[in-house]
Amino acid sequence: AEWAAAVEAVRGLPADARVLLICHVNPDGDALGSMLGFGLGLRRLGVRRLQATFPGPPDVPEPFRWLPGVELLVAQDDAYPDPDLVICFDAAGDSRLGDLVDRLGRAGTSLVLDHHASNTGFGRINLVDPHAAATSVVALGLLDRLGVPLDAEMATGLYVALTTDTGSFRFEATTPAVHEMAARLLATGIRPGDISRRIFDTRPFGAVRLFGEVLGRATLEPAAAAGHGLVWTYATHDDLARHDQPAYVLEALIDSVRCTAEADVSCVVKQSGDAEWAVSLRSKGAVDVSRVAVALGGGGHRFAAGFTGRGPLDEVVGNIRAALGAEVLTPHS
């Protein structure tokens, strides 16, 4: 029923309708890739008044600036104030949309495409599949139902989304259906080697040195999480400034930290304001980090979650320790 309503919401648009695509703050490969891939699909359908945006400063992280469809992006302040349709990608709740919640409120109607089990159903129509490996799985499902033929430009964003959220097909979410979707995307002629190198394997030398410093102060707490172990580190604005690096380079840091054999849970605390921290949590399976994140005001998935911490660094880390202690003692339902 939701699929039919979603198809109708797009098909029923008048020719001059304004469509605004939005995604979560600090957009990652799934948020941007799904949004832009889907946006190009809407173009193919003949949607002419079409914009895409995300909350916060309009800077697209360098690794994504080459994505087909970036020309759809506008700064959030320039986005249609009263869109006829808002389509939201990869956001579990409207708290992930910053100031763009007002566009959502003023839109003629709204459509949410997502794959978080914790999704709050904040759209008029909600296409939320917690079994989907990425939001792009849902996005392609809708494009198929709209009858949009897949092309290489659309496929690029959808593939970036799929590789981002499956850890390049390494995570448990990598089902046969994921590989079947990847096969369809690759059959359009996109080049997976180029794409992976650009989004995962390219960073400035300054970021390599910054990682050295930040990884050098990682802390291992084997007793944390009821003996499953916690490894964590942090990065401040000052660290970024000393190495002359933009904040997005820190997104890859968690992937180095989470290799730690002695810890089930890994954590990177990234300064995002005066006394504000963006916290990334990962688990190998013993601990459901989405529950830890939810307890601290955030959300996410079982193996990858996050939240915004407020206060001094030690307090934020102390809260994580405490929530980890409480979580592993709670029997899973």
Question: How far is Cα 60 from Cα 119, in angstroms, rounded to an integer?
Answer: 25
Q: CB nearer to ligand 5GP: give 92 or 235.
A: 92
**228, interface contact from Mn ion, ligand 5GP, none, CB < 5-8 Å by kind:** none
What sign for the dihedral angle of Cα 309, 312, 314, 315? negative
User: Does position 114 bind Mn ion by CB under 5 A?
Assistant: no
Per CB under 6 A, the list member of 110, 163, 271, 280 interacting with ligand 5GP is: 280
Q: Taking Cα atoms as reference points, which of 272, 291, 273 lies closest to residue 281?
A: 291
* Minimum CB–partner distance for residue 18 and ligand 5GP (Å): 28
Question: How far is Cα 14 from Cα 26, in angstroms, rounded to an integer?
Answer: 32
Q: Taking Cα atoms as reference points, which of 270, 196, 245, 261 lies closest to residue 33?
A: 196
User: Does position 97 bind ligand 5GP by CB under 6 A?
Assistant: no
User: Does position 27 bind ligand 5GP by CB under 6 A?
Assistant: no
Interface with Mn ion in residues 142-181 (CB under 5 A): 165
**298, interface contact from ligand 5GP, Mn ion, none, CB < 5-8 Å by kind:** ligand 5GP
Site stretch for ligand 5GP (CB under 6 A), options 62-70, 106-114, 175-183, 301-309 = 301-309
Residue 12: both structure tokens together: 């029923």
User: Does position 253 bind ligand 5GP by CB under 6 A?
Assistant: no
Q: What's the start-to-end Cα distance of the chain, in Å?
A: 29
Interface with ligand 5GP in residues 67-96 (CB under 6 A): 92-93, 96
Question: How far is Cα 128 from Cα 126, in angstroms, rounded to an integer?
Answer: 6
What sign for the dihedral angle of Cα 80, 84, 90, 91? positive
Contact assessment for residue 35 and residue 88, using Cβ atoms and an 8 Å cutoff: no
Q: CB nearer to ligand 5GP: give 10 or 199.
A: 199
Per CB under 6 A, the list member of 42, 185, 304, 316 interacting with ligand 5GP is: 304
Per CB under 5 A, the list member of 20, 36, 83, 90 interacting with Mn ion is: 90
- The H or E element containing residue 310 is strand 304-310
Amino acid at 301: H
By Cβ distance, which residue is nearest to ligand 5GP?
Answer: 306
The SS3 call for residue 88 is strand
Can you give the binding site for ligand 5GP, defined by CB under 6 A? 28, 92-93, 96, 116, 280, 298-301, 304-308
Can you give the binding site for Mn ion, defined by CB under 5 A? 28, 30-31, 90, 135, 165
